[in-house]
Amino acid sequence: MRIKVAAIALASVFAVGGGAFGQAQLESFPQGTTTMTFRIVAEDVSEPQALELQVIAHADGIYTVRMMLEASGTADQLSTFGLVFGAAGLLYGGGQDVSLAALQTLMDQRARLQEGQEYALPGGGSFTNVASVTIAGVRCIEGTIVDPRSPDAKTTVAFSLSHPVYTVPRVLVERRRDGRWETVFSLELVGYTFVAG
């Protein structure tokens, strides 16, 4: 089965409390409950998957992080479900090597990224087509990671600017097949709510 996972998404989702690749530090979340709902599509799973992340910031400085993942498919499609959302596949996104150093650099510098600019990335490649976008009410900066060593693969990623989001709000992994770009994996924020507590 060719389900491969975008390193950006998984590394971010499984980062806990400021570990590597968590887009927002837990301290960034205001006191209360922040709920982020994502839609995940992988080319070899027939139904979209739903991921809900919830960060509860308690008054005493304690945080609770909840994750609920739901997927539907055939037994064969779901046989790798645990691998898709486990540690396996963290280094690849739809068959494309994604530089983790480059991703961390982009996350760290996201407030400095400017629309219409292109940025060279550590380890080669560039971050291009940079634009401001709004995803589920969250203002973001988005661009595409391209690497001349992998001309038939590209990864588009958005970073949150206006709200704390535990992982990146959007990842789109594409591969060129028969001269056409096809999406092989996507993760997108589709809902964002905050309830003060």
- The average pLDDT across 90-103 equals 51
The predicted pLDDT at position 25 comes to 82
- Per-residue confidence at 187, pLDDT binned at 50, 70, 90? confident
Q: Which ranges constitute the DSSP H helices of 36-109?
A: 75-78, 81-84, 100-108
Per-residue pLDDT, 21: 40
For residue 189, what pLDDT is reported?
94
Least confident span in 14-18, 115-119, 151-155: 14-18
For residues 41 and 22, give the distance between their C-alpha atoms in angstroms, rounded to a whole number: 21
Q: Is residue 1 part of a domain?
A: no
Is the residue at 2 inside a domain? no
Strands (E) in the chain, as ranges, are 32-42, 49-57, 63-70, 92-93, 96-97, 119-120, 126-135, 138-146, 153-160, 170-177, 180-196
Instruction: State the virtual CA torsion across 183, 135, 66, 196 in degrees, nearest 10.
Output: 180
Range of the domain at 89: 7-196
Domain count, the chain: 1
Nearest-angstrom CA–CA distance, 172 and 20: 20
Segment 55-87, tens digit of pLDDT: 999 999 999 998 887 767 677 666 555 434 432
Of the pLDDT bands very low, low, confident and very high (cuts 50, 70, 90), residue 190 is: very high
Q: Alpha-carbon dihedral of residues 7, 9, 11, 15, nearest 10 degrees? A: 180
Is the pTM of the predicted complex or chain greater than 0.95? no
Above pLDDT 70, what percent of the chain?
A: 74
Asked if the structure places residue 162 within a domain, the reply is: yes
Q: Position of tokens 């480059």?
A: 102
The position carrying tokens 């799973």 is: 45
Close Cβ partners of 66 (under 8 Å, ≥ 6 residues apart): 52, 53, 54, 56
